[in-house]
Amino acid sequence: MNTIPNSLVYALANVLHPRMLWLMVWPLVIALGLWGTLAIVFWAQIALAIAEWMQSGLAYLPFISDWDFATATLFAAKLLILVMLVPLIQLTALLILSIFGMPSMVEHVASRSFPGLQRRKGGSLAGSVWNSSVGLLGLIGLGLVSMPFWIFPPLWPLIPIAILGWVNQRVLRYDALAEHADAGEMRQVFAANGGGLYLMGLILALAAYIPILGFFAPVLLGLSFIHYLLAALQARREAPIEARAL
């Protein structure tokens, strides 16, 4: 029976393959270059805008509306930018990887662990782009909904991780099954494994903040998602017909 730990162990054993090493490098370099440049150019303006937004929110709180929080909110704004840069860089690398690298990763996993699994080709490039677009729209929507809570410092590290957990699994799951499952099987496997997929998405979001491991995280978890979902698909096809309806 496949489990998340089994999939992570498989990914760790395969992440240093030369093809996987190359996939770890170039999407991350592009993402670092993009967000690093934007951060350098717009750092001061963004920090001031966030600090002003925080001060306007604090002005509505009783007992402290007359206090001067200019220095504290500016420091908090800079810290918030740093906190958000990590998942933004990782997510950008993940989106690049999902479109350009996942087919190679799927072939790597399938040829070694699931050579007999029938390929029903239920996905497409257009479907992959649409799925990634839904993930981005979800990121924006969840960010806007959660915005009132961002003025509370204890929630800063929790909100992006919770949101990125959902976005990560949304981006990776489609491409992991697109080659092997038909459309109906994809919906069924996603529904049956929603909790596990979200947990793996959270692991990826947390790994981004760990030095060195964050560099490997997109490919490592990409391999894990593929192994986990192909194993789930294979188990579903091998299960009795009555069990598949559950």
pLDDT of residue 106: 93
Read off the pTM.
0.78
Look at residues 187, 183, 171, 175 and name the one whose alpha carbon lies nearest to residue 132: 171
Confirm if 232 and 192 have CB atoms less than 8 A apart: yes
Return the ∠ at Cα 157 (arms to 151 and 160), rounded to 5°: 90
pLDDT at 233 > cutoff 90: yes
pLDDT of residue 242: 52
How many C-beta atoms surround the C-beta of residue 246 within 10 A? 7
pLDDT at 7 > cutoff 60: yes
pLDDT of residue 57: 60
pLDDT of residue 62: 56
What is the residue-averaged pLDDT of the chain? 83
pLDDT of residue 133: 87
pLDDT in tens, 56-97: 665 555 555 555 566 677 777 777 777 778 778 878 888 888
Confirm if 165 and 118 have CB atoms less than 8 A apart: no
pLDDT of residue 118: 95
pLDDT at 122 > cutoff 70: yes
Segments making up each domain of the chain, as ranges: 4-31+84-244
Give DSSP secondary structure letters for 138-159: HHHHHHHHHGGGGGSGGGTTHH
pLDDT at 220 > cutoff 90: no
pLDDT of residue 56: 67
CA 208 – CA 206 distance, rounded (Å): 5
| Residues of the chain above pLDDT 70, percent | 88
